[in-house]
Amino acid sequence: MPSRKRKDSDTTIGLKLTAADRKLFLEHCPSLAEDFVKAIRETPPREPVTVPLDDTDDLLESLAADAADSEDPRTAKNLDRLLDKIADFIDKTEDATARGKPNGIQIPGWLASLMIEGNRKD
């Protein structure tokens, strides 16, 4: 896995994990950091699991190692799928953040128009 650049330590991302994804992490990823396991357990099912962007390298490395060590081919395949899903999301988030557009944040039209109106100089 290629090394990623270090990120802003205050930046977090919200991983949208299905119930199956969460179960896969908790049951088949013994090398996960305890902080991430705690975040999965404490985050309500329909809410994204918040992860510091600085910790994503460790998360991906743990997930890759657990996939490689899995003796069950189906579990290994599912872990690889989850790894790809999370890596893609992180890449998109980093790209959007670099362009000044945080991934997943949408401003409603009415709020955008208020913001534009408030910035106009007459």
Task: Please report the pLDDT score of residue 18 as a whole number.
Answer: 92
Element (H, E) at 12: strand 12-15
Per residue in 34-87, pLDDT (tens digit) is 999 999 999 999 999 998 888 888 999 999 999 999 999 999 999 999 999 999
Residue listed under structure tokens 């329909």:
46
Burial (Cβ within 10 Å: 0-12, 13-18, ≥19) of residue 32:
buried
Tell me the sheet residues that pair with 50.
14
Task: Please report the pLDDT score of residue 119 as a whole number.
Answer: 47
| Mean local confidence (pLDDT), 2-6 | 43
Backbone angles phi, psi at 12, to 5 degrees: -125, 160
- Distance from first CA to last CA of the chain, Å, rounded? 53
